[in-house]
Each structure stands twice: as C-alpha cells, then as structure tokens.
Amino acid sequence: MLRRKLFYSPPSSMTDRDCRLSFASFLHAFIMLFVVFDAIGNVPAFQAFTYRMTPAERSKVARQSVLVAGAVLVAFMLVGRYLFEAIKVSIADFKVAAGIVLFILSVELVLGKLEPGMMKVEADDVAIVPLATPLLAGPGSISTVIYIAEVIGLPEALTSVALNVLLAYIIFRSSEKLFVVLGKNGAKAVTRIIGLIIAAMAIAIIREGLEAMLLG
C-alpha cells in the first residue's frame, strides 16, 4: 500500500499532460505566424530596398523593421478587432489598402526611381514602409495574430510574435552576405526583378481583398 502511494502521483501526470498540450498549442501558433510573417520570403524585398545602404544602415533597417512589425502585431492582437469594428474597416479593406501601397513602391523599384541619395535619407521610412508593414506585419499576419490570441491564447500569441521577430532579424542580417556575392551591378539587376515580384504580390493582395469584399 505504501509502495503504491509512493509511485502513484496523478497530479504530476496531469501537469505533464497540460504542459504537452500547452507546447502543442504554442507550436501551432508559432508555425501559423511563421508562415504568414514570411521572413524568408521577404529577404529579396529587404535586399531590394537596402542594397545601396552601408552595412550599418542595413543592420539598422533590419532591427527597426522587425521591431516595428512586432509592435504592430502586438497592438492589433490586443485591440485590432475592436479598432476594425469601431471604424467599420474589415480585413478585406485593409488588404486592398496595403496592396495599393506595396504596388506603388514596387513600381518605383522597377523604374529605378528610388535613387541612392533618397534611399539613404529615407532609410528609417523604408524600415517602416514597406518592410515592417505591409510586408512583415501585413493583413495575413494581423488577422493571424488576432485569431491566435482569441482562439489559442494570448500567451501563445505574444510568444509567437517575439520568436518570429527574433528569427526575422537573424534572417535579414544573414542575408547581407548576398550583397557581397552579387556586387553592385548584380544587386541592381536583381532589384528590378524583385520589384516585378513585389508588384505581383501587391496585385494578389488587392485581388484577395476585393474577392473577400464581393463574397462577404
């Protein structure tokens, strides 16, 4: 009887199960946000908007862009749904607006209107628009964190944002090695191509927003 009491501990077993469920919920939340945050997919855009900058400036842009993106996601996570309801704006409306902004910037990249001097002066602006938003903290990321906070839990949502922000910073900083490989002319050529890709992404975002409006 004593032996049975010593080795039988249901509360501990329940705690282990709760921990496993909590970790599974966090992993689910992290993967969901990682996919839509798409730090890896946004590396070409980071290169396109920063290839004329010095390494120190690129590092600053990487840091600012991920921190601002994280702050935007946390803000929308906490008050996003109430804000959208108050101003009567839907995620679909947000997608169309974000797509238009992104398309305008992509056209400037393709046509070479982002001159070296302007890129240096507006380094801080580039970190915020378009890198932080709408590329990192775009309609997909915003709607995802709102969903995670409401359905999975606020702690999982906050932790997922923090880890994705850290990963995005590491990925952006690591991408600097490509600048050395491509060289100035190579980076310039790639920038034009990436501009076209970003334009296509912008049109896709606008289309998704319009489709949601029509179906809604």
> Letter for the amino acid at 142?
I
pLDDT given for residue 114 in this prediction: 54
What is the SS3 assignment for 134? helix
Contact of 109 with 192, CB cutoff 8 Å:
yes
pLDDT given for residue 21 in this prediction: 61
How far is it, in rounded angstroms, from Cα 20 to Cα 18?
5
Kindly give, in sequence order, each residue whose CB lies less than 8 Å from that of residue 141, ignoring residues fewer than 6 positions away.
Answer: 33, 36, 37, 69, 73
How far is it, in rounded angstroms, from Cα 65 to Cα 126?
8
Number of domains in the chain: 1
pLDDT 10s digit of each residue in the chain, 216 long? Answer: 444 444 444 444 446 666 666 788 889 899 989 988 989 888 888 988 887 888 899 999 999 999 999 999 999 999 988 998 899 988 888 889 888 888 887 887 788 765 444 444 466 788 998 899 989 999 889 989 998 998 889 999 999 999 999 999 999 998 877 767 767 677 778 778 878 888 888 898 899 889 998 987
Task: Determine the structural domain holding residue 127 and report its residue range.
Answer: 2-215
Cα distances from 50 to residues 55, 100, 183, in angstroms, run: 9, 21, 13
The most distant pair of C-alpha atoms in the chain lies apart, rounded to whole Å, by: 82
Prediction pTM value: 0.74
